[in-house]
Amino acid sequence: KMNTDIGQHVLKNPGIAAAIVEKAELKQSDVVLEIGPGTGNLTAKILEKAKKCIAVELDPRMAAEVTKRFQSTPYQKRLEVILGDVMKTELPYFDVCISNTPYQISSPLTFKLLATSPAPRSCILMFQREFALRLFAKPGDKLYSRLSVNAQMWAKIDHIMKVGKNNFKPPPQVESSVIRMVPKNPRPQINYEEWDGLLRIVFVRKNKTLRSSFIGTSSIMELLEANYRTWCAQNDIPVEDGPVEVANDEAMVMDMGEEQEEHVAEEPADEVMDMDDDDVPDFFKETTNARLEAALKNGASRKKRGKVAELVREKVRQVLDEDTGLGEKRARMCDENDFLKLLWAFNQKGIHFN
């Protein structure tokens, strides 16, 4: 009995199952991890080519079915079925991952695979078409997002083939695509929390300039100030604080300019397909306009800011204008090297994102 709630769309076209396994270029010595074997259509092709297939299946009925399918065959000894949620399972060693992925776990599964150590040689994964397009979108593409930069930071990703919905039983609502993901080896030596923390800030509004995302967004400046204080405390660096008076007009004019510069409609957030952007704290989403309107209403032309706040602001300005020259660039046009440059420059100045 099918239960579409956990994405059980069985691949019924054996030609596609064979093509997927073909693309994995398996060696006789390979250990393959399969996520969600279902009734075992992909599993059968994997077992023909590999030394071993470890299949993680959430649904006990499916796990029983796939086990039974290969019982009393020469493949029985090569198949190990692990019953459970792949996201909660500690993965055993594997050389290659092949999966007709349950689409609800596309994003966390991708990152679980990318975090696996030692890194698999490659992963051949079937995804919902739009998710696949997001994974390998390039700067400037409509679907370029935090997911794209993140995935491409850790892996090389290629599109392998489109798979129409009629190749599944029951047919899903959406079209699918198979991609190949080859983790970079060696892994880039950067701190994931820092890296992702930076990306979260600039991709809240990917059409804004970086200057506007940082200096033009007071909640972000407050966050960076708090992080800076923590960093100073951890490194025994004394911070001198106290109020300073600053001209407010300048900052306001700049912020307004940024907001008016370009109005590209934001993509509606899609919880399933993007990285879980719904967990972006609300204070990240505050718009500069709202703050500006409030400031204008107050009629204040000068305001007080803390010394540390000013210091952090100046550091951020230097990073954007002098160290990287990226202040006027928009996140949607930046590639992973731009973000790396940015993170490096921020960290050099004691500005951190985790």
Site map 55..94 versus ligand SAM, x via CB under 6 A:
-xxxx--x----------------------xxx-------
**Which residue, judged by CB position, is nearest to ligand SAM in the bound state?**
36
Of 273 and 295, CB closest to ligand SAM: 273
d(CA 115, CA 150): 12
Q: What angle do CA 126, 128, 133 make, to 5 degrees?
A: 95
Length of the chain: 354
Q: Which of 46, 78, 102, 122 binds ligand SAM (CB under 6 A)?
A: 102
- The verdict on 123 binding ligand SAM (CB under 6 A) reads no
Least Å distance, CB 111 to ligand SAM, is 14
Site map 41..60 versus ligand SAM, x via CB under 6 A:
xx-------------xxxx-
d(CA 161, CA 99): 14
Of 83 and 232, CB closest to ligand SAM: 83
The CA–CA distances, whole Å, from 17 to 11, 70, 79, 100, 354 equal 7, 17, 17, 9, 42
Which residues touch 196 (CB under 8 Å, ≥6 apart)? 146, 150, 353
Would you give the DSSP letter of residue 229?
H
Q: Which of 26, 32, 33, 35 binds ligand SAM (CB under 6 A)?
A: 35
Would you give the DSSP letter of residue 321?
I
Q: Are strands 122-128 and 96-100 parallel, antiparallel or unpaired?
A: parallel
Of 1 and 263, CB closest to ligand SAM: 1
Stretch that binds ligand SAM, among 35-43, 158-166, 177-185, 290-298 (CB under 6 A): 35-43
Least Å distance, CB 30 to ligand SAM, is 18
Task: Report whether 205 contacts 270 (CB < 8 A).
Answer: no
Residues that bind ligand SAM (CB under 6 A): 6-11, 35-38, 41-42, 56-59, 62, 85-87, 100, 102, 105
